[in-house]
Amino acid sequence: MRPEIPRRPVSHITDTEFEALAFGSERPVLVFFGSRRCKICRQLFPVTEAIAHDFQGRMNVYGVDAGKYRLLFQSLRLRGIPQLVLFLDGEVKLRLGGFHPHPVLVDQLEQWVP
């Protein structure tokens, strides 16, 4: 039996909240772009919640419905879902597309998140 990974709920934000929360934050910000209709997104979202738990107090984590906020998705030149985008000091520092296991994401994020 696989041990349960602790998770923290991820708040979904709108396109109008995005700029202030992603670009205006003093902390690193990880944004999950996905859709409920996407099978891989449904698999990655619990991993993203585990990342939110692991980096609590060090990084803010939000979710964006890529289908509902298509213009925002396109403005960031993202292709396909799911996408995880890390913002640091108002700049995109990391983009990860598709499914990645929890340990891989932790390793990638530890390189950027103080």
Q: What is the CA radius of gyration of the chain?
A: 13
Is beta strand 91-97 parallel, antiparallel or unpaired with respect to 83-88? Answer: antiparallel
Query: What is the model's pLDDT at position 26?
Result: 93
What is the rounded average pLDDT of the residues 83-107? 96
Q: Confirm if 47 and 100 have CB atoms less than 8 A apart.
A: yes
Residue with tokens 């619990």: 46
Q: Confirm if 40 and 5 have CB atoms less than 8 A apart.
A: no
Query: What is the model's pLDDT at position 54?
Result: 96
Q: What is the pLDDT of residues 30-71, one digit of tens each?
A: 999 999 999 999 999 999 999 999 999 999 999 999 999 999
Query: What is the pTM assigned to this prediction?
Result: 0.93
Mean pLDDT score across all residues of the chain: 94
Calculated CA dihedral for residues 96, 88, 43, 69, nearest 10 degrees: -90
